[in-house]
Amino acid sequence: MGLLDNKKIIIMGVANKSSLAFGCMQAIIEQGGQVILTYQNERMKRSLDRFVDDAVLKVECDVSNPENIKTAFATINQTVGKVDGIVHAIAYADKRDLANEVTDSTLDSFALAQNISVYSLIATAKYGREIINENGSIVTLTYMGSERAIPNYNVMGIAKAGLESAVRYLARDLASQAIRVNAISAGAVKTLAVTGVKNHGDLIKMSNERAVDGVGVTIEEVGNTAAFLLSPIASGVVGDTIYVDKGTHLI
């Protein structure tokens, strides 16, 4: 018996086999869940087609426009019916903002990071709550740059602080439908998104060195925690941010 037997979970943000969302996808399938993927654009779709089974439903969803989320979820609802959870593993900031100093960012680039990395979760909850069954669960991904001034993380750190706050407010509001909302604060892992951060090699090295055993967290470990949070046995975990970083945040 799996934790997610008979559960349908939408996963937003699988780009390739290094993605944290891919770790979530594997863990959800291992726990008996059925996955539905959303992808940003045709380039991402071509990437997914290389390693994701044709039987998995894949739906386009560029979250920069909330209407696209509404349309994508309506398509999913029409195709598979109601779902039991959503993994939101999406963030974006202009590469120029992931270097140097926060004061180098512009209003437009700041707003872009907020839109893709924070508002997209709110829109996901807004349209997601229409198609999620009672006792469902939404999980997003954050990073400790929300609390600490991590070199070059800049506007993304500010966005992650907003994201974690959004998790708390959404958890309060969606409780009326018995839908839980939580975040996983993952340790640094080399993914496409991380390579946008200047000197990301140093970021990952620092994160790994501060893990209690000196070994960085894996996407499998992050995925397993997502599977737990999506499952009924996490019914008491609401509006929380859980560190899955091998203790990096402690040191």
Residues with catalytic function? 143, 153
Residue among 59 and 186 whose Cβ is closer to ligand NAD: 186
Q: Does 112 bind ligand NAD (CB under 6 A)?
A: no
Residue 5 CB, nearest approach to ligand NAD (Å) = 26
Residue 17 CB, nearest approach to ligand NAD (Å) = 9
**Choices 70-78, 106-114, 172-180, 183-191 (CB under 6 A): range interacting with ligand NAD:** 183-191
| Residues 140-179: x where in contact with ligand NAD by CB under 6 A, - otherwise, as a string | -xxx------------------------------------
Residue among 163 and 234 whose Cβ is closer to ligand NAD: 163
Amino acid letter, 160: K
First to last CA, the chain: 37
Residue 251 CB, nearest approach to ligand NAD (Å) = 17
| Cβ atoms of 23 and 219 closer than 8 Å | yes
Q: Tell me the DSSP string of the chain.
A: --TTTT-EEEEE---STTSHHHHHHHHHHHTT-EEEEEESSHHHHHHHHHHS-TTSEEEE--TTSHHHHHHHHHHHHHHH--EEEEEE------GGGSSS-GGG--HHHHHHHHIIIIIHHHHHHHHHTTTEEEEEEEEEEE-GGGTS--TTTHHHHHHHHHHHHHHHHHHHHHGGGT-EEEEEEEPP---TTGGGSTTHHHHHHHHHHHSTTS----HHHHHHHHHHHHSGGGTT--S-EEEESTTGGG-
**Choices 27-35, 97-105, 125-133, 138-146 (CB under 6 A): range interacting with ligand NAD:** 138-146
Residue 157 CB, nearest approach to ligand NAD (Å) = 10
Identified binder of ligand NAD from the candidate list 191, 208, 225, 241, rule CB under 6 A: 191
| Cβ atoms of 114 and 162 closer than 8 Å | yes
**Choices 13-21, 98-106, 128-136, 233-241 (CB under 6 A): range interacting with ligand NAD:** 13-21
Residue 176 CB, nearest approach to ligand NAD (Å) = 26
Identified binder of ligand NAD from the candidate list 188, 211, 227, 242, rule CB under 6 A: 188
Identified binder of ligand NAD from the candidate list 32, 57, 58, 62, rule CB under 6 A: 62
Token duo for residue 117? 């990395």
Enumerate binding residues for ligand NAD (CB under 6 A): 13-15, 19-21, 40, 44, 61-64, 89-92, 116, 141-143, 186, 188-189, 191-194
